[in-house]
Amino acid sequence: MSILIKGGTVIGPTGAALQDVLIDGETIAALYQPGKAPQIDQTIDATGKYVIPGAVDAHTHMELPFGGTHASDTFDTGTRAAAIGGTTTIVDFAVQRYGEVVQDGLAAWHGKADGNCHIDYAFHMILGGVDDDSLKAMDQLVATEGISSFKLFMAYPGVFYSDDGQILRAMQKARDNGAMIMMHAENGPAIDVLVKQALERGETDPIHHGLTRPQELEAEATSRAIWLASVAADCPLYIVHLSASKALEQVKAARDLGRNVFAETCPQYLYLTLEDQLGAPGFEGAKWVCSTPLRSKHETHRADLWQGLRTNDLSVVSTDHCPFCFKDQKELGLGDFSKIPNGIGSVEHRVDLLYQGVVDKKLSLARWVETIATTPARMFGLYPRKGIIAPGSDADIVLYDPNGRTRISVETHHMNMDHSAWEGWEIDGRVDTVLARGEVIVANGEYSGRAGRGKYLKRGLSDYLL
């Protein structure tokens, strides 16, 4: 079936243009100057709207086991919420737990996702233990499973943590097989010392989660990861959820030297703070316990991160969507902040939250689309199938209404959470219509998709390998 999207302004990496978009079946057939397209029975009027590629969220954790519980969104609820918010592809993290066979962890993740996703999805693999077997598994995952990126943790000793020797071995393997190493860059053993000391002093409130994870320990780990990647013959390195100015300085210095180093940040670090959210009275701040943590509003983190997005020292905005309900989940940490499950849920709101950056003149329209769609697709081997409006690409398209308004609340969101990290926020812009592989799944804000329509995507290597 053919559909013509007429009268809209198509936004791509090179800017904005009035163009009509012809869709044939699941893919984009052609772009036309306004009025030059052939006559088609089904048209969608996009007058006054931006026509952007469906957004790609390269960092989600549906159903992640963490802190004695599980992230509260399933692949069903989480991908439905993503779709409603204009995200048409996620890359979730399959998990190899310590002592588990990598392929078994991957099979378990397929078991959670298969038949349940509303949008297309792919996986990175978390390596919970680097040894001879998991190194061999990396080759197989790259060659046959469409998984070309592996996350390692410098934090969480005893859970996901890898020591420097393990990290180096995984980086050497990635340098050989073309994969990307994604790094959770925080010095976990040092953080654990600070956490123990804080608890001994009776400091148990959520704000101490942030105070025991100072930016120096993010910057130190970021720098160490960069040097280890250098020793591994410039293995491609991607720093996840970068939150702090001093960590950004490390990435910028490496990139200025032409190093194969990339980083993402997340909406929470662009807008929320240690004092205003994590430091909310009583136990309320638990809603904003995530790692890396929210940073101080009295320092320059947020301004620096916006600037990093403009200069491409930060290439991508992902959510690190890892939702936990307040009741019974966040509450596990009542009286001990170190037992609060780490994570914030935002998969539904990233497109809107970053559009607010355009309204606030912190990002150009082109950079908005690049950081939420085009670059994540290129970074993780999904381009040009995803991330761009071009002939041959999947017809994943969002009609975005710049004159609309979005009000965020637990009363109206679709994520499986009993609170919102963004409660009461009213922002400019609104997702109006969403097409996923040529099917209209959101029209005028109303959802009409279904679980099981999303397909698993085998990814290629990153476009950005040196």
Segment near Zn ion (CB under 5 A); pick from 141-149, 316-324, 417-425, 427-435: 316-324
Number of residues that bind Zn ion (CB under 5 A): 2
Segment near Zn ion (CB under 5 A); pick from 112-120, 183-191, 252-260, 324-332: 183-191
In the three-class reduction of DSSP (H, G, I as helix; E, B as strand; rest coil), residue 358 is classed as helix
| HSE value, Cβ hemisphere, 13 Å, CA-based, for 465 | 18
Q: What are phi and psi of 184, to 5 degrees?
A: -85, 100
Give Cα 358 to chain centroid, integer Å: 19
Which distant-in-sequence residues (6+ apart) come within 8 Å of 276 by Cβ? 297
Looking at residue 51, the DSSP 8-state letter turns out to be E
* Structure-block tokens of residue 122: 């792919």
Give Cα 227 to chain centroid, integer Å: 25
- Which of 339/458 has CB closer to ligand DUC? 339
- 61 touching ligand DUC, by CB under 6 A: yes
What is the residue whose two structure tokens read 């978390």? 126
Interacting residue with ligand DUC among 49, 184, 362, 419 (CB under 6 A)? 184
Interacting residue with ligand DUC among 20, 52, 66, 277 (CB under 6 A)? 66
Residue 342: contacted member of ligand DUC, Zn ion, none (CB under 5 to 8 Å, by partner type): ligand DUC
Number of residues that bind ligand DUC (CB under 6 A): 9
Residue type, 386: K
Contact 315, 262 (CB under 8 A): yes
Residue 343: contacted member of ligand DUC, Zn ion, none (CB under 5 to 8 Å, by partner type): ligand DUC
Segment near Zn ion (CB under 5 A); pick from 25-33, 184-192, 214-222, 271-279: 184-192
- 291 touching ligand DUC, by CB under 6 A: yes
Interacting residue with Zn ion among 320, 348, 401, 432 (CB under 5 A)? 320
* Structure-block tokens of residue 146: 């469409």
CB of 241 to Zn ion, least distance (A): 6
Q: What's the CA gap between 283 and 133, in Å, rounded? A: 43
CB of 349 to ligand DUC, least distance (A): 16
Contact 93, 151 (CB under 8 A): yes
CB of 286 to Zn ion, least distance (A): 18
- Which of 57/352 has CB closer to Zn ion? 57
- 213 touching ligand DUC, by CB under 6 A: no
What is the residue whose two structure tokens read 């995803």? 386
**Helix axis angle, 188-200 relative to 215-231, nearest 10°?**
160
- 184 touching Zn ion, by CB under 5 A: yes
Q: Using CB under 5 A as the criterion, which residues of the chain lie in contact with Zn ion when the complex forms?
A: 184, 320
Q: Using CB under 6 A as the criterion, which residues of the chain lie in contact with ligand DUC when the complex forms?
A: 61, 66, 184, 290-291, 320, 322, 342-343
